[in-house]
Structure 1
Amino acid sequence: MARTQYAVGNFSEAAAAYAKVSALLPENADLIADYADALAMSQGRTFTGRPLELVRRALVLNPKQWKALAMAGSEAFERRDYVAAIDYWQRLHNITPPEAPIAQQLQGSIDRARELAGSSVPPPLASGFVEGAPTRSSADGRTVTGTVTLSAALMSKVQPDDSVFIFARPADGSRMPVAVVRARAKELPLQFTLDDSRAMAPSAKISNLAEVIVTARVSRSGNAIPASGDLEGGTEKIKVGSQGVAITIDRAVP
């Protein structure tokens, strides 16, 4: 019934039908993603409010749910949160067969988001985790490794599924991240490796730098742009190649 209503463009009716079914199957990520899609369409193709909540719920249940990843990327792109859009779309691209028609479209969207992210100079920001195969720089030692922990005083302010962003940016000049890892708060304490496989753009690599600043941030919203109330910690300038870096998330963003 819900799919039929959606197919003929009756999005409000489809959303209502999905709401009833999802109440019976609250752990079904595919169903919740379909519900989010129909509800967004009924709101004029906007994810504001309940649709975005449903998208996030679907990704908690199944981080590889393809429709939820696609919608999360589109929502982030519309907000001009290009690094988050790259995260979601790259994760979707990584599980999409190369021969699938959507694969080329996804790559085009990722490339466009990278262009826009690289052309802006936002405030210090975290980013989504862009997966990739280890590069030669890893073997050459052009990495930064370490462990992120959460201060005991802040544990009560964090939920298990809050997003954790760990990123390196140039010690001088651009504030755009050159390597990023994304995780969940429930994984803390977390060991990390920042290398060229975590780059946001091919032209901006950690292996090209001598020094970086590494920051770890907990974001309740999952947004790549820092917001008041986020929790963070970081380093001063450190050399690329540093190993065993210890970062404690111990303060709130004003």
Structure 2
Amino acid sequence: MTANAAIDVYDFDSPQQEAQYRGLIEEFRCPKCQNQNLAASDAPIAQDLKQKVYDLIKDRRSDAEIRAYMQERYGDFISYKPPMRPSTWILWFFPPLLLLVLIVGWFWQSKRRQVVARGQNGVTVNSTAALTSAEKAELDRLLSQAENVDHDITSIEDKKMTLFSTFGLFVALSLLIALIFALIAIMPWLRAPRLQSKPIDNQLLDINVAVFRERLAELQTDKDSGTINNSHYQNQKLELERQLLDAQRQITPMVTPDVKSRLIVAAWIPILAAMAYLLIGNRTPVFDLWTSEDKVGQVADDLLTAKIDKPPKWATENGRQLISAMQTNVHRNADDPNRWMRLSELFLSMEATDSALEALSRAYRLAPDNEEIATTYAQTSFFVNEGQLDANIRRLLQAILAKNPQHERAQMLMAMGETRSSNFAQAQGWIKRLQGSIVAKPGDHTKALASLDELSNYVSTQEKQALEGIDVTVKINANLLPLVKADDVLFVAIRDVKGGPPFAAKRLPISIIKQGEASIRLSNLDAMMPDRTLNSARSDKTQLAVVARISHSGNAIAESGDLSGNPIMISVEQTQVNVEINQQIP
């Protein structure tokens, strides 16, 4: 879409506003096209920016205010006329300075050529006077020399000037730089032969001398004790002396590098490492991140600071760029809990629950007194943990209720969690507290109270079914405790000894085991299929067995390396059983 087409769409209050709009969209650069202004670009982001310029003009903003707004959002890059500041001096002054240098160089070179062509050497010549005899002789000599030369002096000078001013200058500078670096690198090794004239004590020679003295002392001791005779002693001593002399001749004196050599090597190591990184390393992810920040960095900041509720359409064309920009923005403002909170919402929308919990955890650590953050963290953790209250969730909810005992969301989470943990009395207690909180508030709460009554009846039903279950005590053999890992999973099930799906089963975190022991209750509530319960097994008088297994992978199927115990047979009337995990699956 051209500028004229865009202007035809908008309704301006005056020709001055239209002229202002035309000038601004021709001045601003399209962030996507980069080599086009907004007037000539039909990119989606250009349309959004045109609309923004129009809105600002309708708000009676001046050109300076609009430029400041756009540069604050998108940087100096948005303008084809960047402001005069130290960071943009190179954009303003480098082109004219380069042009000035080229003009001066061209003028200087032309002047030199004129000087050479005219033969000016500082001596005034009278062109009308006749040549003297000496001058004629000198001329003959010069001409005879010129016959043996392949080209004339003027031509040589012109070519030298031309070559040196271009390729020759480049070659000369390149050779000079290469020579400087070569000297820096090899100077310590060039100095080494001169230093060899002043060798220092060699460590290897010192060791050889010490060994020689020890062996000689041993021979002297053997001789004095009568173990060897004098002739054998002299032969061994002579052999040791020759060995020491041979070793001394083969040893090259050690030269200790000086401080300058060490500094040179220390300087070259990071230089070479940086060069290797630039030549070998794949920097595509870094460039992609920079591109993301340039394109949607401001949109990401507006989302994280709640300035906007949803990104513009053009910013969602590449979701990866927006996500990367938001993550980078949060890490650069890592002390802002609200940004972490917003980032967790993004992760939850992508079903990345682990990343969402990590973001909420950081937000809670930064603002533990923020009730909204604490409640969101507890609620998200609760549902990610499949409705079970672990130690962290319980601690969060207790902290919220300590500050606000009437907090309804926290009370509801406690009631649901205690029900899931089969703590039915505690669950009924939280339901009563929640009913009292609702009744104390003004207004009609009939529906809410009716829902709580239904929940209370459901808890009572669950409690009755749980009473018909079996209490299982799982113990781990002390020899196997070192093999248990923090992320392991405990499986406990009651199944038919003949095989088939279990009548009741639980999958629990390993943290439930305390000091090598855990108490678990299996009932009809833990049935995997509605028609395959403990009651049905008891009615059919099925022979049951209790099994327990610790899985490293978390899979329901046993794998090599898992820890397990022997199945324990139980009778139909039995309500308690002990199971020991005492072996590792090969």
Q: Which bracket does the TM-score occupy, shorter chain normalised?
A: 0.5 to 0.7
Q: TM-score normalised to the size of structure 1?
A: 0.53
Residue 249 of structure 1 aligns with an amino acid whose one-letter code is I
1:178 aligns with 2:503: yes
1:65 aligns with 2:381: yes
Residue 171 of structure 1 aligns with an amino acid whose one-letter code is V
1:207 aligns with 2:535: yes
What are the superposed Cα offsets for residues 87-107 of structure 1, whole Å, 9 maximum, x if unpaired?
xxxx9xx8xxxxxxxxxxxxx
**Does the residue aligned with 1:177 lie in a helix, a strand or coil?**
coil
Residue 324 of structure 2 is aligned with which of 13, 16, 28?
A: 16
Residue 478 of structure 2 is aligned with which of 145, 148, 152?
A: 152
What are the superposed Cα offsets for residues 183-230 of structure 1, whole Å, 9 maximum, x if unpaired?
222221111111101111211101111332211121222222322222
1:198 aligns with 2:526: yes
**How far off its partner does 1:182 sit?**
2.6
Q: Cα gap change, 1:138/1:186 in structure 2, threshold over 3 Å: closer, same or farther?
A: closer
Q: 8 Å contact 1:33–1:54 — kept in the other structure?
A: no
Q: Cα gap change, 1:18/1:65 in structure 2, threshold over 3 Å: closer, same or farther?
A: farther
Q: Cα gap change, 1:63/1:171 in structure 2, threshold over 3 Å: closer, same or farther?
A: farther
Q: 8 Å contact 2:344–2:357 — kept in the other structure?
A: no
Q: Cα gap change, 1:153/1:167 in structure 2, threshold over 3 Å: closer, same or farther?
A: same
For residues 325 and 518 of structure 2, the distance between their equivalents in structure 1, rounded to whole angstroms, comes to: 41
Q: 8 Å contact 1:133–1:197 — kept in the other structure?
A: no
Residue 526 of structure 2 aligns with an amino acid whose one-letter code is R
Q: 8 Å contact 1:170–1:212 — kept in the other structure?
A: yes
1:233 aligns with 2:565: yes
What are the superposed Cα offsets for residues 154-190 of structure 1, whole Å, 9 maximum, x if unpaired?
211212342211111122242x122122322222111
**Does the residue aligned with 2:565 lie in a helix, a strand or coil?**
strand
Q: Cα gap change, 1:18/1:232 in structure 2, threshold over 3 Å: closer, same or farther?
A: farther
Give unpaired runs (5+ residues) of structure 1: 41-50, 71-90, 95-130
**Does the residue aligned with 2:480 lie in a helix, a strand or coil?**
helix
Asked which structure has the greater RCO (Cα within 8 Å, sep 6+), the reply is: 1
Q: TM-score normalised to the size of structure 2?
A: 0.26
- Matched with 2:87 is none
Q: Cα gap change, 1:243/1:133 in structure 2, threshold over 3 Å: closer, same or farther?
A: same
After TM superposition, the structure 1 = structure 2 runs for residues 12-91 of structure 1, keeping only pairs within 5 Å, are 12-17=320-325, 20=328, 21=330, 24=334, 34-35=346-347, 38=350, 65=381, 68=384
**Does the residue aligned with 1:65 lie in a helix, a strand or coil?**
helix
Q: Which protein has the bigger strand share?
A: 1
Q: Cα gap change, 1:248/1:19 in structure 2, threshold over 3 Å: closer, same or farther?
A: farther
For residues 465 and 479 of structure 2, the distance between their equivalents in structure 1, rounded to whole angstroms, comes to: 37
Q: 8 Å contact 1:164–1:184 — kept in the other structure?
A: yes
Q: 8 Å contact 2:343–2:356 — kept in the other structure?
A: no
Which has the greater radius of gyration?
2
**How far off its partner does 1:236 sit?**
3.2
Q: 8 Å contact 2:568–2:579 — kept in the other structure?
A: no
What are the superposed Cα offsets for residues 34-85 of structure 1, whole Å, 9 maximum, x if unpaired?
54874x8xxxxxxxxxx79758979x99695377569xxxxxxxxxxxxxxx
Q: 8 Å contact 1:137–1:207 — kept in the other structure?
A: no
**How far off its partner does 1:153 sit?**
1.3
Q: 8 Å contact 1:217–1:249 — kept in the other structure?
A: yes
For residues 194 and 238 of structure 1, the distance between their equivalents in structure 2, rounded to whole angstroms, comes to: 13
Residue 496 of structure 2 aligns with an amino acid whose one-letter code is P
Q: Cα gap change, 1:63/1:181 in structure 2, threshold over 3 Å: closer, same or farther?
A: farther
Residue 512 of structure 2 aligns with an amino acid whose one-letter code is E
1:164 aligns with 2:472: no
Residue 381 of structure 2 aligns with an amino acid whose one-letter code is Q
**Does the residue aligned with 1:226 lie in a helix, a strand or coil?**
coil
Comparing 242-251 with 185-194, which one deviates more in the overlay? 242-251
Q: Cα gap change, 1:15/1:214 in structure 2, threshold over 3 Å: closer, same or farther?
A: farther
Give unpaired runs (5+ residues) of structure 2: 1-299, 305-309, 362-376, 387-416, 421-458
Residue 580 of structure 2 is aligned with which of 226, 244, 248?
A: 248
For residues 56 and 37 of structure 1, the distance between their equivalents in structure 2, rounded to whole angstroms, comes to: 13
Residue 195 of structure 1 aligns with an amino acid whose one-letter code is S
Q: C-alpha root-mean-square deviation of aligned residues, in Å?
A: 4.5
For residues 461 and 489 of structure 2, the distance between their equivalents in structure 1, rounded to whole angstroms, comes to: 22
Q: Cα gap change, 1:206/1:182 in structure 2, threshold over 3 Å: closer, same or farther?
A: same
For residues 204 and 13 of structure 1, the distance between their equivalents in structure 2, rounded to whole angstroms, comes to: 50
**Does the residue aligned with 2:472 lie in a helix, a strand or coil?**
strand
> Percent identity, aligned pairs only?
23
Q: 8 Å contact 2:486–2:510 — kept in the other structure?
A: yes
- Matched with 2:553 is 221
